[in-house]
Amino acid sequence: MKINNSVPPEAKQIYGGVKKVDNTADTNAAAQSNGADSVSLSSHARSIDEMTRAIAQLPDVRDGKINDIKNSISNGTYTINPGAIAGKMLNEIA
């Protein structure tokens, strides 16, 4: 099989009939608009955005809870309930 730079006749028939589209009318219409993009959010999307922003402002660590646990451990009053832990683990699996 010999490969050369010639284009197969089928390709010429397919691509030969394709005409270039003039997009100047679309470009002109876009240029005539105010040029600003706009986004419209639903009330549901706005409330999700507000909640996301509120959550982002919350601290990642609850310092009061951590200090209480540290104090309980150092006092020797911290107790672990293995049954409660196992129950919560099983509830998450189910």
- Could you tell me the residue ranges of all domains in the chain? 62-94
Q: How far is CA 71 from the centre of its chain?
A: 40
Give residue-wise pLDDT tens across range 56-88: 998 888 889 999 999 999 999 999 999 999 999
Question: Which DSSP state fits 5?
Answer: S
**Contact by Cβ (8 Å): 41, 48:** no
Cα–Cα distance for residue pair 52/39, rounded to 1 Å: 18
What pTM value is reported for the model? 0.34
Give residue-wise pLDDT tens across range 4-13: 666 666 666 6
Q: Quick check: 49 pLDDT over 70? A: yes
**Contact by Cβ (8 Å): 78, 72:** yes
The mean predicted confidence, pLDDT, of the chain is 79
**Contact by Cβ (8 Å): 41, 49:** yes
**Contact by Cβ (8 Å): 27, 35:** no
